[in-house]
Amino acid sequence: MYKNVLQAIDGIAIYPLISFSIFFLFFLGLLLYVVLMDKKYVETMSSLACSAEDDANPKTGGNNA
């Protein structure tokens, strides 16, 4: 039933092409963003996770009484 309804719509074949194009352009843009990202910024952000964990856990160093 749904197949017959969708076939009756004029120009329905363009929608899969539009969706694929949007997906492909988004994926390509994200890939370019990651490849061209500043490596120093990535290292800084990755070290923040470790240092924030160390600051939040007072048992890792200092005087444990």
Q: Which residue has the higher pLDDT, 25 or 3?
A: 25
pTM for the structure as a whole: 0.56
Query: What is the enclosing helix (H) or strand (E) of 44?
Result: helix 39-56
Indicate whether 60 pLDDT > 60. no
Tell me what pLDDT residue 46 has. 86
| Alpha helices (H) along 1-65 | 2-7, 14-36, 39-56
